């Protein structure tokens, strides 16, 4: 009986960490999200029509998403990014629609940001919201 348990454990270990296969995702190193190559294009495609000086979103909130510096400056109500804390960052609350479905960003567009785009922004914030 002990041989069966030992054999089962060995088979599990071999299947869990195959010599020629992939490393389980828990052991993979996290990819660093870049503001310039990953986040900024999302803002360009979905947000800049409103969140630039003269745009509707900028006029209402003061949020300018045209540069890293202006994003980190936040709105006339305060910062929208808390580096390392995506769940409580106002930007993420807004794009997820957690404050109010009527305030979900991007406002007035057909649909919302994809889960993939939201995840990129959240991961960037969780990684420290670096200007990289």
In a domain, 79, yes or no: yes
Contact 12, 97 (CB under 8 A): no
Which parts of the chain fold into alpha helices (H)? 2-16, 40-46, 56-61, 68-73, 90-96, 115-126
Contact 90, 79 (CB under 8 A): yes
pLDDT at 59: 96
| Number of domains making up the chain | 1
In a domain, 66, yes or no: yes
Q: Each residue of 70-102: pLDDT tens digit?
A: 999 999 999 999 999 999 999 999 999 898 887
CA dist., res. 24 & res. 15, Å (int): 10
Q: Each residue of 6-45: pLDDT tens digit?
A: 334 333 343 333 433 443 443 345 799 999 999 999 999 9
In a domain, 107, yes or no: yes
In a domain, 117, yes or no: yes
Which two three-digit tokens encode residue 97? 């629609």
pTM attached to this predicted model: 0.75
Residue listed under structure tokens 């960037």: 124
pLDDT at 12: 36
pLDDT band at 108; cut points 50, 70, 90: low
Residue listed under structure tokens 């979905």: 46
pLDDT at 48: 92
pLDDT at 17: 39
In a domain, 48, yes or no: yes
State which residues form the domain around 51: 33-126
């Amino acid at each position: 009986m002990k041989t069966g348990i030992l054999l089962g454990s060995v088979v599990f270990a071999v299947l869990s960490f195959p010599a020629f296969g992939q490393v389980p995702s828990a052991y993979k190193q996290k990819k660093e999200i870049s503001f310039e190559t990953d986040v900024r294009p999302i803002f360009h495609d979905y947000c800049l029509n409103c969140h630039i000086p003269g745009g509707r979103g900028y006029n209402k909130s003061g949020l300018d998403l045209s540069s890293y510096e202006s994003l980190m400056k936040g709105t006339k109500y305060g910062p929208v990014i808390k580096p390392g804390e995506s769940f409580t960052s106002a930007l993420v609350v807004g794009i997820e629609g957690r404050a109010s479905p009527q305030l979900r960003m991007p406002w007035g567009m057909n649909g919302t940001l994809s889960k993939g785009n939201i995840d990129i922004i959240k991961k960037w914030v969780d990684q420290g919201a670096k200007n990289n």
